[in-house]
Chains A and B, each alone.
Chain A
Amino acid sequence: MNITLWGTRGSLAAPGPETVRYGGNTACVEVRGGDDSLLILDAGTGIRRLGGTVESEVRRIDVLLTHLHMDHIQGLGFFTPLDQPGRDVHIWAPPSTTLDLRRRLSRYLSPPLFPVRIRELPCRLTLHDAPLERFRIGRFEIEASLVCHPGSTVGYRIGEDGTTLAYLPDHELALGAASFPAEPDWTSGFELASGADLLIHDAQYTEVEYRQRVGWGHSTIDQALHFAATAGVKRLVTFHHDPGHSDAMLDRLTEEASRACGLPFELIPGTEGLGFEL
């Protein structure tokens, strides 16, 4: 499994000289399987550049959305495979109790917010409710499970040939956990992340910021570290960086986190363009 980060920013795209190293695009991760099958995790603004690299031989593209907040779908309208006749694109998202996925996505992909309607897209588009259980896409075994974040939101656990990626980009660890991180069975997302080779996890806030934003659906870097340790992952990629955090600030936060004694995993700050092979 090969993984590439195309957007690591949270909430709002934040381009500019102060974010040029970690990147300003919002959430998007490319996952290539051993048979070159393609999964795309979230469709933030990072998906625009990724779309330009997808080879014509790729017959099927599966886009797995964790939820429908704007920073996770804004790039859809600029994802060129959607404009390619005959291209087979599947979009998966958490179920809603009231509206199907087409209607929910149409709130964005229709005037006045966007000039093109979903039904006008020339690709072969199939929309799915992500099953809240294990399912397969090609050689990937995928598990979607609800996680703590406002609105219907899932995290994904993706396995192939004995390797595992866990992706929880928007996740408030401490809100629902009675005594986080002491009780794994009462911690949202624990089973998804447990023992993963690579965990990509929300680390949006500092401790000071979190105290002012409890309930907004995100975690601190320290919480992400505790979670990764409890879940026994091999590598942690911090993700969903706050749009107000500059490269210099992310350097400092990562450095402070790295100094925490005896991290039992490798800590990697999520950086646009970074790739991993599992």
Chain B
Amino acid sequence: MSAVAQKPLEIILMRQLASYLAMPIFLVDPRGDMLFYNERAEAILGTRYDETGEMPLEEWSTVFAPTDEDGLPLPARMLPLTIALNERRASHRVLWIRGLDGVSRRIGVTAFPLEGQSGRHLGAVAIFWEDETQ
């Protein structure tokens, strides 16, 4: 067997779908480590996937400096993606992030877990939009 660990098929197909969609999508594995974000997400995160590559939970959950509507830092456990992962349910929240381009943006995030056949927990997906209503 190779030392290279192949992603589950559902994750491979999810990335393919995300790369074709015109809505920002962020994909994590069961531990919460970021596997992929698409081009529309790059515009909001202020960086390119080709530059960051995959990113551990501890890094992506802090590097974008997520805060709530009052400017208070949001710990990883309160982010929709980690709620979707840990509680295996959909989660939604409006929050602020600071992209790696230095720009703060208000975004709405909806996350849901990815459950495979035979009870396999595959990770979670976040779909988010820049919210310019405020």
With most chain A CB atoms within 10 A of its CB, the pick from B1, B9, B16, B117 is B9
CA distance A184 to B4 in the complex (A): 7
Give the residue name and chain of the A residue nearest to B120 (CB). Answer: A132
Contacting residue for B6 out of A95, A129, A178, A184, CB 8 A: A184
Q: A95-B117, A152-B117, A185-B7 are in contact. Are A231 and B12 (CB under 8 A)?
A: no
Q: How far is the CB of A227 from chain B (nearest CB, A)?
A: 12
Q: How far, in whole Å, are A129 and B119 apart by their CA atoms in the complex?
A: 13
Query: Nearest Cβ distance between residue B93 and chain A, in whole angstroms?
Result: 29
Chain B residue numbers with a CB within 8 Å of A132 are 116-118, 120
Among A97, A176, A185, A232, contact of B13 (Cβ-Cβ < 8 Å): A176
**A-binding residues in B (CB < 8 A):** 1-2, 4-10, 12-13, 15-16, 19, 116-118, 120
A122-180 CB contacts (< 8 Å) to partner B: 129, 131-132, 145-148, 152, 175-178
Contacts of B117 in A (CB 8 A): 94-97, 132, 146, 152
Which of A62-70, A79-87, A188-196, A244-252 touches B? Answer: A188-196
Q: Which residues of B contact A190 (CB under 8 A)?
A: 2, 4, 6
**CB of A186 closer than 8 Å to a CB of B:** yes
Q: A185 contacts B4, CB within 8 Å?
A: yes
- Asked whether, in the complex, the Cβ of A147 is within 8 Å of the Cβ of B9, the reply is yes
Q: Is the CB of B6 within 8 A of A191?
A: yes
Contact of A185 among B1, B5, B9, B16 (CB under 8 A): B5
List A contacts of B6 (CB < 8 A).
184-191
B2: A residues at CB distance < 8 A: 184, 190-191, 194-195, 231-232
Closest B residue, CB atoms, query A184: B4
Q: Assess the A145–B1 pair: CB atoms within 8 A.
A: no
Chain A residues contacting B1 (CB-CB under 8 Å) are: 191, 194-195
A interface SS class? loop
19 more contacts with CB within 8 A, not counting A178-B15, A186-B7, A190-B2, are A95-B118, A96-B117, A132-B117, A132-B120, A146-B10, A146-B117, A176-B13, A176-B15, A178-B16, A184-B2, A184-B6, A185-B4, A186-B6, A190-B4, A191-B1, A191-B6, A194-B2, A195-B1, A195-B2
Q: Interface residues of A, CB < 8 Å — how many?
A: 28
A194 nearest CB neighbor, chain B only: B2
Looking at the complex, which one of A95, A97, A145, A231 makes contact with B9 (CB distance below 8 Å)?
Answer: A145
Say whether A176 contacts B9, CB under 8 Å.
yes
Q: List the A side residues contacting B10 at CB < 8 Å.
A: 146
Please list 29 pairs of residues, one from A and one from B, whose beta carbons are closer than 8 Å in the complex, sorted by A's number: A95-B117, A97-B117, A129-B118, A132-B116, A146-B10, A147-B9, A148-B9, A148-B12, A148-B13, A152-B117, A175-B13, A176-B12, A176-B13, A176-B16, A177-B16, A178-B16, A178-B19, A184-B2, A184-B6, A185-B6, A185-B7, A186-B7, A186-B12, A187-B6, A188-B6, A188-B9, A194-B1, A195-B2, A231-B2
- Are B4 and A146 interface neighbours, CB within 8 A? no
In the docked arrangement, what's the CA distance between A145 and B7, Å? Answer: 11
Q: In the complex the two chains form, is B5's CB within 8 Å of A191's CB?
A: yes
A185 and B6 CA atoms in complex are apart in Å by 4
- The 5 A-B pairs with the shortest beta carbon distances in the complex, nearest first, are A194-B2, A176-B12, A146-B9, A191-B6, A190-B6
Assembly CA distance A273 to B119 (angstroms): 40
CA A40 to CA B117, docked complex, whole Å: 24
Residue of B nearest to A154 (CB): B9
